[in-house]
Amino acid sequence: MTRRLAQVAKKVGVSEATVSRVLNDKPGVSEATRQSVLSALDVLGYERPTQLRGERARLVGLVLPELQNPIFPAFAEVIGGALAQQGLTPVLCTQTKGGVSEADYVELLLQQQVSGVVFAGGLFAQADAPHDHYRLLAERNIPVVLINAAIADLDFPCIACDDAVAVEQSWRHLTSLGHERIGLVLGPGDHLPSRRKLAAVRAAGGSLGDDLVERSMFSLEGGQAAASRLLERGVTGIICASDPLALGAVRAARRRGLHVPRDVSVVGYDDSAFMTCTEPPLTTVRQPIEAMGRAAVDLLCAQIQGTEVPHGELLFEPELVVRGSTAQASAK
């Protein structure tokens, strides 16, 4: 008990006597200090006293599918900072191969009595993936915000970058440069943002046969393999569903002795960190990470405070950033 008091007091920057008053539900402690002590208990892994367990912790789960793609640390930085400004502590949950599953993370977050959860990518974006752990959150009335895809049968609010506008910007850019044979490298078949990108191109009248669409896992290696197949079919422009996929496409072109952008133009998606430092610098569609992350936190905090929030998707406008990986189609 003494060790616990000392650790919590050090974490919060108050005396052990103050921590003791909070744990024993005694008066004489400000509400801000009280919440800080309870949050410290949660973060340090200590159980709350029985009389205090009915309250949700000032913790918010931030669930990410990975950290290798720079877009996810970027979201984590914005969301974490915005949560801290609201007096909430983010708990980062990142999936790793063979590690803790998303459903297991949800169970752990429920045990910690979190105030809410933000999912920035994950199984909710895959139509055929198991969604039972999301239903569990809904049944427990835990505030949830999804980023970049909604779940059709669950009424969670969603913040998303407009996939249709993003791919239309990329398509128009390449066609304006004279490219006629353009391929797409998308995520798996049940990946909802990828489905929307494909539907948008076809709805806009883009000449896109099945032979010009390749599916891949979201990795540089996956992008390289998918782009290699497109290059065998004679494409001169490639639109990718993420920046790592686009970097894989650049590598695939080089392995075939092709020059980017003289022989092949490549467009990414996200405008994640260091895309100005690649060779060539990557033309990509920028997600407004700062605005999206802050909007997600605003929606979550409104739910935590009991305010009714609009459900469905709140769409943000992407921006095409033209750099050195696209150029005029070469005359054949």
Name all domains of the chain by residue range, CATH numbers in brackets. 1-52 (1.10.260.40), 59-161+289-317 (3.40.50.2300), 163-287 (3.40.50.2300)
* CA atoms within 13 Å, Cβ hemisphere of 263: 12
Give per-residue pLDDT as tens, 10-40. Answer: 888 999 899 888 888 788 888 888 878 887 8
The residue among 159, 89, 151, 143 whose CA lies nearest residue 307 is 143
- Return the percentage of the chain with pLDDT > 70, whole number: 96
9 SS3 class: helix
Strand pairing class (265-270; 89-94): unpaired
SS3 for 14-78 is CCHHHHHHHHCCCCCCCHHHHHHHHHHHHHHCCCCCHHHCCCCCCEEEEEECCCCCCHHHHHHHH
- Provide long-range contacts, Cβ within 8 A and 24+ apart, for 18-24: 23/49, 23/52, 24/49
Measured CA to CA in angstroms, residue 52 lies from 3, 18, 34, 39, 106 at distances of 20, 16, 11, 12, 22
Q: How confident is the model at residue 234 (pLDDT cuts 50, 70, 90)?
A: very high
Contact 1, 23 (CB under 8 A): no
Q: What is the pTM of this model?
A: 0.82
Q: How confident is the model at residue 53 (pLDDT cuts 50, 70, 90)?
A: low
CA end-to-end span of the chain: 78
Amino acid in the structure at residue 70: P
